Each structure stands twice: as structure tokens, then as C-alpha cells.
Amino acid sequence: MKRILTFSVIFVTLACGLGWSTVINIPADYPTIQQGIEASADGDTVLVQPGTYVENLNFNGHNIVLGSLFLPSQDTIFISQTIIDGDTLGSVVTFNHGETPNAIITGFTIQNGFSMNGGGINCSSSNPTIDHNVVSGNTSESDGGGIYCDDSNPLILGNMISGNSVYDGAGGGVYCWNNSSPIISGNTISGNSANNGGGICCAPVSAPVICGNVIRYNSASPGGYGGGIYCLASIPLISNNVIHSNVATSWLLGYGGGICISECGAMISNNTLSLNYARYGGGMAVLDASYPVLNNMILWENTAPVVPQILIDDVSTLAVSYSDIQDTLWPGAGNLSVDPLFRDTAGADFHLMSTACGDSLDSPCIDAGHPAIVDSLLDCSYGLGTYMSDMGAYGGGDSVIVGIDDNDYYLPDKLVLMQNYTNPFNNETKIRFLIVKSMEVRLAVYDLLGREVQTLIDEYRPAGVHTVTFDASDLSSGVYFYGLQVGEAFETKRMVLLK
């Protein structure tokens, strides 16, 4: 029986601290974005009109929403039209005063930053939400050309992180270390460069969740470790990513064109690695006493002079199951070594061919994944089988984990509920949330007495970011709460309806 948590149980702890929020318009109310931030209070929105703003911003502990007109319209044209230019005078945006996920930056092009760490965005001891931005053309001297995380757990969602670089360090696109556990989901991370970890670097004592991204055309040189992703002494969860056309080279070495794991116990499932290149381990390299576990993977057409698909050194261990790996039938349950039949490799379409979706053939990777991951819905964009999970990045569809032991490696039950926009609102507002595993989801709205007034979602939803519109035209003005239940987890936020 599905357990529904009653809102009244936790209502008393939520009813305190109610207040009003304000929308500050830039440049109508203040000529600069920074002045708007300084004039704001927690919960406010700073809304920025199209234009180029040459500024280096610091949220200074303000838990506010900073957005372009993309925020109310969801029209991506405003992302390219609303530019924050750092003028090479430091990080373009800084979070270093303990900001929470309610500190949100969304809908901007963030460019031309230059800093020791985090040319585009620097997160230090903070946990903001970085959502639907273009982070491009930024440079770091040391680490994190695009985004830098130090003792921080930001939500990095739906961004284009491209063309960023590091002079002499790691993490061309994203760098995380020192107790950082960011959720990096739904991004395109492309054309970044660094000594190591051209796309993403997970440095010591970090535990990022890297799921649902496209990681492509990144370069690790001259260090040569991890063209797409490099993980050193960290514990990442890497799931449902397409990792292709990345390069790891140096004068003498170059390990893991797609992924390089060093001193790690990585948890890696449902990724597609193709067309990556390195001198050793074109698809993946496992080094220095690492012990990753791979499930539901596809590694195909990666190249290297030494071991094209997976290189593992003598002091590491690697468990592989239900994966399709070119050249060798890897030991382990359910493994294959047959052409996965991608739809269009030349066009970078790594979906699996399916006759049910109009293709001429059926991929052998359909319904060939882990038998404990159920896939009962046919979807030509995400999951093609009707029995159990497909292999590769698009495997799963309505995947749900059943009967998995604690020592198996899959994404944890985790949810993120974001602040609605607009707030206060008149009749209609949008609510967004993130889940990192496909599950039953229930989202409902409650009044001040804890009574449910509207159910917005009560159904199975796939992993990822979801947006729901709440129509309150039949309700009276006042304070309301919205609550999200995913499994046993339950989160709430408040909103204000003004008519």
C-alpha cells in the first residue's frame, strides 16, 4: 500500500516565518544587477531585462531568485539575450556566504570570467541552484573553468557549459572537491579543456551525482586524465549520461578518453561511451586501486593505441554486468560484445535502433539490462523495451529498482523541491522539482490549516527535472504550501496567492 504523508503532521514547523516577497526589476529599479541583489531580502526575485551587464556578482548570502525573462516565460531566447560579462576581472558570479538552494540563478549567458578558481561561477561553502544558463568562454588559472565547487552542494541543472578552460589545473567545465556533493543533471557539457577532467573533475573528498548529461568534445591535455570525466579519490554516482567524442592525451600518457577513475569506488550505470580517444583506454581507464562497479553500460567505437574500450591496471578491480563492450566479452552476468546499433552515430544520436520506432533493426541492447530494473513502457526517446531496462544512457523509461541489495550501486532516493515562480502570484504559478531516480511522485497544495486543496501530480515520473503549472483561479488570496512526496521523502515550500 502506498504511504501518503499527511501535511498536518509537519504543518506546525512550517507555519512560522511567513512573509512577503518582492520583484526587483533591473534596470528599472536599479541600474546594476549587484545593486538589485543588495536591495533584496530572502525570497525576493531580481528580474533582469535583456542586455549585456558587465559585472562580477556576489550573492552575499541573499537567498533570492536572480533570473532573466526566461524565468516567467520559459522562452530560451532570453538566455542568449541576457548576458553577464565578467570582463576578465574575476569570477562572473560568486556564492560564498552560505547560500541555500533557494538562491537561484537562471536564464543568463555567463561569460568572460577570469579567476584563480571558477572563472564562470564560484561556489564556496554554499548550495545554490544554477539552472538553465549558458556558462561559456570563462577561464580559470587553477580549477573549474566554468563552475567551481568547494565544500558546496549546488544544483547544476539544465545548463549549457561550453568552451571554458583551465590554464594549469582540472575541471574545464565543472570542478568539485572538499566535501562537495553537487547534483549535475540535464546539462550539455561541451568543448571545455583542462589538464585533467576536460568536462568534469571530481577531486578528493567529493561525491557528486552526475546524471542525464551530454558530455562531449572536451579535452584533457597535457595532464591527460579523463577527457570527459576525471574522478580522483572521490565517490561519484555516474548515471544515464551520453559521453562521446572526448579526448585525453599528453606527450607520453593519456588515460580514459571518456572516463578516468583513480583511487575511486565509483558507481556507474546506464551510460553510453562512444567515439572517445586516449592513448590508454579510449572509453575508460581504471587506475590506482580503484574499484568501480558498472551496470547497463555501452562502450562502443572508442579508440586508443592501447586497449580501446576499458583499461584496468594491475592494482584495480572492476565488476561489470549487463553491459555491451566492444572487442571483448567482459566477464560478468548479462554482458554482450555486439554492435549496439545506434540510430545515427555520425549525427551524434546514440539512441538504440528499434523497429517499433520506425528503424530497420532492433538493437540487441533493448531489454538486455539488469533484470531487477523494470521497463514496461515503450518510449522512443527514453527506454525502448517493455520488459526490463535497456543498456546505455537511454535505458529505463519507467525504470524502477526492486529488490536491490544495499551493496548494489544505483542512484539514491533524493528529491529537490524548488521555489515556485512567480511568488507572490496571481492565479497561476510554476513549480519545479528534481528527482534522480524514476519513482512514484505526489505533489499537492495545502492551505494554512493543513488541508489539501489541490493534487497536482500523483503518478510515476522518470528521473529528471519536472515543471508543473498550478492554477489557483478558484482559490482565494492567502498563504498556501505545496508538498512533494517521493517514496518516504517529503519536502514543502510556501507560496502567496494575491488577487
How would DSSP label each residue in 188-211? EEES-EEEE-SSEEE-SSB--EEE
* Type and span of the H or E element at 10: helix 8-14
CA atoms of 363 and 249, how far apart (whole Å)? 32
The 3-state secondary structure of 404-417, one letter per residue: CCCCCCCCCCCEEE
CA atoms of 284 and 345, how far apart (whole Å)? 19
CA angle (461 as vertex; 460, 463 as ends), nearest 5:
140
**Closest-CA residue to 240 (of 401, 416, 460, 463):** 463
Task: Work out the average pLDDT over 98-121.
Answer: 96
Task: Work out the average pLDDT over 171-187.
Answer: 94
- Amino acid 496 reads V
State how far the alpha carbon of 123 is from the alpha carbons of 80, 92, 130, in Å.
23, 11, 10
Task: Work out the average pLDDT over 85-112.
Answer: 96
> Was domain 424-497 assigned CATH 2.60.40.1930?
yes
Q: Is residue 400 predicted with pLDDT exceeding 60?
A: no
Contact 82, 70 (CB under 8 A): yes
CA atoms of 220 and 229, how far apart (whole Å)? 9
- For the segment 305-330, what is each residue's pLDDT rounded down to a tens digit? 999 999 999 999 999 999 999 998 99
DSSP assignment of 226-273 equals -SSEEEES---EEES-EEES-EE--SS--B-SSEEEES---EEES-EE
Look at residue 111 in the predicted model and tell me its pLDDT. Answer: 96
Q: Is residue 41 predicted with pLDDT exceeding 90?
A: yes
- For the segment 273-304, what is each residue's pLDDT rounded down to a tens digit? 999 999 999 999 999 999 999 999 999 999 99
Q: Is residue 402 predicted with pLDDT exceeding 70?
A: no
Look at residue 414 in the predicted model and tell me its pLDDT. Answer: 56
* Type and span of the H or E element at 176: strand 174-177
Share of the chain above pLDDT 70, in %: 90
Between 457 and 374, residue with greater pLDDT? 457
* Type and span of the H or E element at 439: strand 439-446
Q: Is residue 438 predicted with pLDDT exceeding 90?
A: no
- For the segment 130-173, what is each residue's pLDDT rounded down to a tens digit? 999 999 999 999 999 999 999 999 999 989 999 999 999 999 99
Contact 388, 370 (CB under 8 A): yes
Task: Work out the average pLDDT over 393-397.
Answer: 73
Q: Is residue 458 predicted with pLDDT exceeding 60?
A: yes
Q: Which has the minimum average pLDDT: 39-48, 136-145, 399-408? A: 399-408
Look at residue 407 in the predicted model and tell me its pLDDT. Answer: 32
> Cβ neighbours of residue 348 under 8 Å, at least 6 residues apart?
216, 244, 245
b/e per residue 324-341 (b: at least 16 CB within 10 A): bbbeeebebebbbeeebb
Number of H helices, E strands in the chain: 4, 51
Task: Work out the average pLDDT over 63-85.
Answer: 93
* Type and span of the H or E element at 299: strand 298-300
- For the segment 475-498, what is each residue's pLDDT rounded down to a tens digit? 999 889 999 998 878 888 888 898
> Cβ neighbours of residue 117 under 8 Å, at least 6 residues apart?
91, 140, 141, 142, 143, 144, 148, 150, 175
Mean of all residue pLDDT scores within the chain: 88
- Confidence at 413, pLDDT banded by 50, 70, 90: very low
Instruction: Write phi, then psi, for 71 (nearest 5 degrees).
Output: -60, -55
Bridge-partner residues for 459, per DSSP? 441
Q: Is residue 183 predicted with pLDDT exceeding 60?
A: yes
> Cβ neighbours of residue 367 under 8 Å, at least 6 residues apart?
375, 385, 386, 387, 388, 389, 390
Q: Where are the domains of the chain?
A: 21-168, 424-497
Look at residue 8 in the predicted model and tell me its pLDDT. Answer: 38
Position of cell 554482458?
335
**CA 89 remoteness from chain centre:** 28
Look at residue 464 in the predicted model and tell me its pLDDT. Answer: 66
Look at residue 377 in the predicted model and tell me its pLDDT. Answer: 67
Q: Is residue 2 predicted with pLDDT exceeding 70?
A: no
CA atoms of 228 and 219, how far apart (whole Å)? 7
* Type and span of the H or E element at 285: strand 284-287
